[in-house]
């Protein structure tokens, strides 16, 4: 009794047996038939398609929508670039206005710097919280955060640069870039790495640093003096630079892990945001240390 495929056996052509396909024991379709010529054409077409498929270049991260190291570098460059451009524009405004309008222009520039500091502090704090807790990273929000941080850093730098510490802004920029470059080189060489034990120590130290900062704000409001001056200020500032440097190592590991893990491309902006927060923190601490050192001269 003949056995038929459950699906193909229901086809009328199969049931009638009216086909010229290869029979059992034959190596191919009968020669000289229409079916044999169609079969040969289809086989050649399939071979061409397979050859074209295998000759294509491998899919890149852009094709698959996955994050690559280039995506992370582009996002980081754009974020830090916005901070530097906005900060430079605000920081140089007193000098430009002073050149144009004299002493009154200089004072106007300092007022603009103070306003930029307040706006940058509030806006950076709000967008920092938004970007931290937002599940899906947003390039627009990260760049907006960078703009507010540029206002903050430019205003702080101008207030110190044109009052008591000329040249301090450039010194702080050089110091920040030197620390970041050193950490990056040691990380690339495999010398600096994080560990679970160091991460716990870092978190405890960070919480203690934040609590001290809140206490110092209250002490400043009631007494008019700051605990971040003098020797204690240098010690706290030095510890903060060490913590910021370790935070940079964590940021570099996050970028490397995200690129290797093929996370969605949008998460490149989350990496850029984390690195920008650390760089802003590092710059402010170095700026504070330089002000203390130059104030003791």
Instruction: Please state whether the predicted TM-score (pTM) of the whole model is above 0.95.
Output: no
Among the listed residues 203, 262, 205, 192, the one whose alpha carbon sits nearest the alpha carbon of residue 238: 205
Q: How many CB atoms lie within 10 A of CB 146?
A: 25
Q: What gap in Å lies between CA 21 and CA 32, rounded to an integer?
A: 12
Which pair of structure tokens corresponds to residue 36? Answer: 């044999």
- Could you tell me if 230 and 290 are in contact, meaning their C-beta atoms sit under 8 angstroms apart? no
Q: What gap in Å lies between CA 95 and CA 212, rounded to an integer?
A: 35
pLDDT tens-digit profile, the chain (297 residues): 344 443 334 444 334 444 444 444 444 455 555 545 555 566 666 666 656 555 555 444 445 578 999 999 999 999 999 999 999 999 999 999 998 888 898 999 999 999 999 999 999 999 999 999 988 999 999 999 999 999 999 999 999 999 889 999 999 999 999 999 999 999 999 999 999 999 999 999 999 999 999 999 898 888 888 888 888 999 999 999 999 999 999 999 999 999 888 899 999 999 999 999 999 999 999 999 999 998 755
- 8-state DSSP, 265: G
């Amino acid at each position: 009794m003949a056995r038929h495929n459950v699906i193909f056996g229901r086809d009328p052509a199969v049931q009638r047996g009216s086909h010229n396909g290869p029979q059992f024991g034959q190596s191919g379709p009968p020669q000289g038939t229409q079916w044999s010529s169609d079969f040969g054409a289809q086989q050649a077409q399939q071979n061409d398609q397979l050859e074209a498929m295998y000759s294509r270049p491998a899919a890149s991260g852009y094709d698959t929508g996955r994050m690559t190291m280039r995506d992370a570098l582009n996002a980081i460059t754009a974020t830090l670039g916005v901070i530097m451009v906005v900060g430079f524009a605000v920081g140089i405004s007193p000098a430009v206005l002073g050149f144009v309008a004299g002493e009154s222009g200089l004072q106007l520039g300092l007022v603009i710097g103070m306003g930029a500091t307040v706006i940058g502090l509030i806006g950076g704090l709000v967008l920092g919280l938004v970007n931290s807790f937002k599940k899906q990273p947003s390039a627009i929000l990260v760049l907006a955060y960078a703009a507010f941080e540029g206002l903050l850093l430019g205003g702080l730098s101008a207030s110190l640069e044109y009052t008591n510490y000329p040249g301090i802004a450039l010194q702080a920029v050089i110091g920040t870039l030197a620390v970041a470059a050193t950490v990056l080189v040691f990380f690339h060489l495999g010398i600096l790495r994080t560990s679970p034990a160091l991460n716990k120590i870092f978190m405890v130290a960070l919480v203690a640093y934040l609590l001290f900062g809140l206490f110092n704000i209250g002490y400043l409001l009631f007494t008019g003096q700051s605990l971040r001056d003098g020797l204690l200020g240098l010690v706290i500032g030095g510890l903060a630079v060490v913590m910021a440097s370790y935070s940079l190592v964590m940021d570099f590991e996050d970028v490397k892990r995200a690129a290797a893990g093929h996370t969605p491309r949008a998460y490149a902006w989350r990496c850029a945001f984390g690195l920008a927060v650390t760089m802003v923190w590092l710059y402010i601490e170095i700026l504070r240390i330089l002000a203390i050192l130059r104030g003791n001269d």
